[in-house]
Chain A
């Protein structure tokens, strides 16, 4: 798993690559929380190189979504593969985080 953010024009694009699970979700979350210190006006999760996630990743994403929501910052997702799309759909994440 590799996680990193790219900040440009007020937007943070946050990439998580590889497989996201309980062995690395805390590291990804820490990197994300560092990324949003630059006060983006919106955040996009780019999962186009993420091939696997499970419910640990769901918990991590929901927590980030809630924190951003408190600050009025919208969170989007892009590049879901069939596996991560199914996780987003089954968990209800797709109802709160729009695909762009």
Chain B
């Protein structure tokens, strides 16, 4: 498992950046020649984590940032999506399938479930008032 590449970026937490960030994460993995399914899994999982920052973390998302740190190994991607927002009081409850704190916004509450099913490892750490960090690892199947 040797490190091939690293990337760090901080992007304005606005929904118009979701496509850009999941696209950047997918493009970052291209040197490993991933299958289309692997690319799609990464795009989906990253989209969920990024969407959560934009929808849930901040009162004024467009005045705040999403932080992304990625490492590409010869067999896998490790990616961290972090915010400095309100944090999650009960991470266990938040990760339950179909749990959402915003049902009135027609949210499905499937975000964490998708992050879990579409990656190989998911680690969520959060502190009320201290932001949320989502770390995911995905083994890359090559074409």
For residue A30, give the distance in angstroms from its CB to the closest CB of chain B.
12
Whether A22 lies near B117 (C-beta < 8 A) is no
Residue of A nearest to B23 (CB): A19
B138 at the interface (CB under 8 A from A): no
Whether B18 lies near A87 (C-beta < 8 A) is no
Tell me which of A19, A55, A82 contacts B48 (CB under 8 A): A55
Alpha-carbon distance between A23 and B40 when the two chains are bound, in angstroms = 19
Tell me which of B18, B108, B117 contacts A21 (CB under 8 A): B18
Whether A82 lies near B43 (C-beta < 8 A) is no
The prevalent SS among residues of B at the interface is helix
A3-11, A34-42, A57-65, A69-77: which lies at the interface: A57-65
Interface centre among A22, A62, A91 (most CB of B within 10 A): A22
Whether A55 lies near B110 (C-beta < 8 A) is yes
For residue A56, give the distance in angstroms from its CB to the closest CB of chain B.
6
Alpha-carbon distance between A54 and B54 when the two chains are bound, in angstroms = 14
Tell me which of B44, B48, B55, B108 contacts A62 (CB under 8 A): B108
Taking CB atoms and an 8 Å cut-off, the chain A residues in 8-25 that contact chain B are 19, 21-23, 25
**How many A residues face the partner with a CB closer than 8 A?**
21
Taking CB atoms and an 8 Å cut-off, the chain A residues in 50-100 that contact chain B are 52, 54-56, 58-60, 62-63, 82-83, 86-87, 90-91
Tell me which of A25, A59, A87 contacts B44 (CB under 8 A): A87
B47 at the interface (CB under 8 A from A): yes
Alpha-carbon distance between A89 and B115 when the two chains are bound, in angstroms = 15
Alpha-carbon distance between A63 and B109 when the two chains are bound, in angstroms = 13
B89 at the interface (CB under 8 A from A): no
**A interface residues (Cβ-Cβ under 8 A, vs B):** 19, 21-23, 25, 29, 52, 54-56, 58-60, 62-63, 82-83, 86-87, 90-91
15 A-B pairs with CB atoms under 8 Å apart are A21-B47, A22-B51, A22-B55, A23-B15, A52-B44, A54-B51, A55-B109, A55-B110, A56-B51, A59-B108, A59-B109, A83-B43, A86-B37, A87-B44, A90-B114
**B interface residues (Cβ-Cβ under 8 A, vs A):** 15-16, 18-19, 36-37, 40, 43-44, 47-48, 51, 54-55, 100, 105-111, 113-114, 117
